Each structure stands twice: as C-alpha cells, then as structure tokens.
Amino acid sequence: MELKYLGHSAFEIRTNSGVILIDPFLVKCPDFDYSNTTDIFVTHGHADHLGKAPQIAIKTGALITAVFELAKYCARYGVNVNGISLGGWISYDWGRVIALPAFHSNSSDDGTYTGCPVGYLFEIEGKRIFHSGDTCLNSEMKVIGEVYKPDIAILPIGGHYTMDVENSIIASDWIGAKTVIPMHYNTFPQINADIDLFKSEISKKGKNPLILNIEETITL
C-alpha cells in the first residue's frame, strides 16, 4: 500500500485492489493524475475538502463516500455515492472504514447543510490509518485510541479552523498512533504552523513525526 500527500488535507492511498482519494482539494498539485481513482472519501462539505470530488467522480466513475447529507449533495452531479454516517464499519474491496466524530461546522459553498463533519479510520492490508478531517481536540480521541488503535494518525495542525500544533500533540497522545502525519497547515496565511515544533514535540513523545512534501509517497 502507498500513501501520497497531495497538500492541505488531501491524500491518495493506492491499495492492491483500489485507489482512494481523501478530501481532494488539489490546489497544491493541480496536474495530479487521478485517473485510476476508485473511491473518494470526503470528511465535510467545505470547499477545501470537497475540492474536485464531484468532477473527479464524473471523469473516473469513482464512488464518493460521505455523510448522508453531503453524499446527497454530491449526487446532484450525477455521480455514484455511498451515503453513510457515524456508527459502523463499511466494507470495500480493499478493506473497511468507519466514520468517527469530528468537531467542526459543515456546509457546502452554496450554504447547503451537509450533515455532521467526520474523520475516517481506514483498515487496509492490516494497517489502520486515521484521517481526522477538520476538528478541534476532543475527548472522542481517547475512545479512538482505546477502541480503534490506529497505526497512523493524520491530524490538522494549522490552528484557526482546527487544532493547532499544541493541541495536535495532545491529540496524538490520546489517539496513540506511533506515526503522526500533519495536515491542514501552511496552505493559507491563517493556518501557518511551526512544523519544527511539531516535529520535536512528537519525537519527545517517542512517536514518529512524518512530514510529507507535496506529492511525496510512502510505502506502508
């Protein structure tokens, strides 16, 4: 399995039986080749997360998974959607996913209510990867650590709209993942983050801070 960072909160996961895009807001890599995408996961309806999801789904036939109201919004584009909510594991050819709570707001650019914001925990090829979406520090993260035990946590660190570096350090402790990947920082001036501080504090906790460059790929 390969994980590629596409800037902001966007990631691609290439598995043995499908190619997943998460929050495909691709301003940092506008020429990215998404033609093999089979599944798109969107954490909430804000433009910096929904990104080009409907357009990519139109071109590739990929299935968009999102919370019911957001999935319904995407269905307006005539694409395949899987409307889900918090609660249970959802199965795919390449593994399974559960939507977990995020504390944030949620609407589309035109003001449509798009349900509750979520994070996703992916279980693929024996690994558990948690992408928290936009969220503040919250006590649900203790449950995520205790019950779901992710190997990798992908967390926002930019502040202003989400957790900042300080709170992401606490979150990484609660979630318990050995590897922590920062996201949602340095895209706009409001979310500039001290990445060196993140790196040193995560290391002090005995964890592995994994700072990915745009379009950098790691093998898991």
Site residues (vs Ni ion, CB under 5 A): 46, 134
* Interaction residues for Mn ion, span 72-91 (CB under 5 A): none
Long-range Cβ pairs for the range 87-92 (8 Å, 24+): 89/123, 90/65, 92/18, 92/39
Our CB check for Ni ion shows the closer of 4 and 46 to be 46
Q: Which span sits near Mn ion by CB under 5 A: 26-34, 47-55, 87-95, 109-117?
A: 47-55
Determine the 3-state secondary structure of 181 from DSSP: strand
Q: Which of 146, 186, 179 is nearest to 165 (CA)?
A: 186
With CB under 5 A as the contact rule, the residue among 48, 123, 140, 201 that binds Mn ion is 48
Min CB(144)–Mn ion separation in Å: 20
CA separation (Å) from 204 to 107, 113, 116, 132, 212?
A: 38, 41, 34, 22, 19
Q: Which of 39, 24, 36, 132 is nearest to 81 (CA)?
A: 39
Our CB check for Ni ion shows the closer of 134 and 164 to be 134
Q: Work out the angle at residue 154's Cα, subtended by the Cα atoms of residues 150 and 160, and round it to the nearest 5 degrees.
A: 135
* Interaction residues for Mn ion, span 117-146 (CB under 5 A): 134
Min CB(159)–Mn ion separation in Å: 12
Q: 4 contacts which partner out of Ni ion, Mn ion, none, CB within 5 to 8 A by kind?
A: none
Residue nearest to Ni ion (CB): 46
DSSP state of 178: S
Min CB(206)–Mn ion separation in Å: 29
Task: Give yes or no for residue 23 binding Mn ion (CB under 5 A).
Answer: no
Q: Using CB under 5 A as the criterion, which residues of the chain lie in contact with Mn ion when the complex forms?
A: 48, 134
